[in-house]
Amino acid sequence: LRRENANQVPANALWLTNAMVQIFLVITLFSNSTYLSLIYLATSMILVPYLWSAAYAVLLAVRKETYDGQPALRRKDLL
C-alpha cells in the first residue's frame, strides 16, 4: 500500500479506498437498513478523534506542558 506514483501519492492505498467506498455504496443501494447502519457508524466514529483530542488536551494541562507563566489559562483548560 505504500508504493507511490510519480506524484508522490500512495496509489495502491487510493485504489483500495476507492474500491471499498464503491462496495459500500453498492451495498447501500440494495438495502435501506444498511444505509442507516452506516450513517450511525459514521456519526459515532467521528466522535473518536474529538475524544482523543480532548484527552490529550487534559494530559497537557495536567503535566503543565505549554503553560509557561499562564496558570489561569491552565486552570481554564482543566475545567
Task: Map out the domains of the chain as residue ranges.
Answer: 1-45, 47-79
Q: Which three cell numbers stand for residue 52?
A: 482523543
Q: Which of 26-30, 31-35, 52-56, 65-69 has the lowest mean pLDDT?
A: 31-35
Quick: pLDDT tens for 3-49: 888 888 888 999 999 999 898 888 877 877 777 888 888 888 899 99
pLDDT of residue 20: 92
Note the helical H segments in the chain: 11-30, 32-45, 47-62, 71-78
pLDDT of residue 15: 92
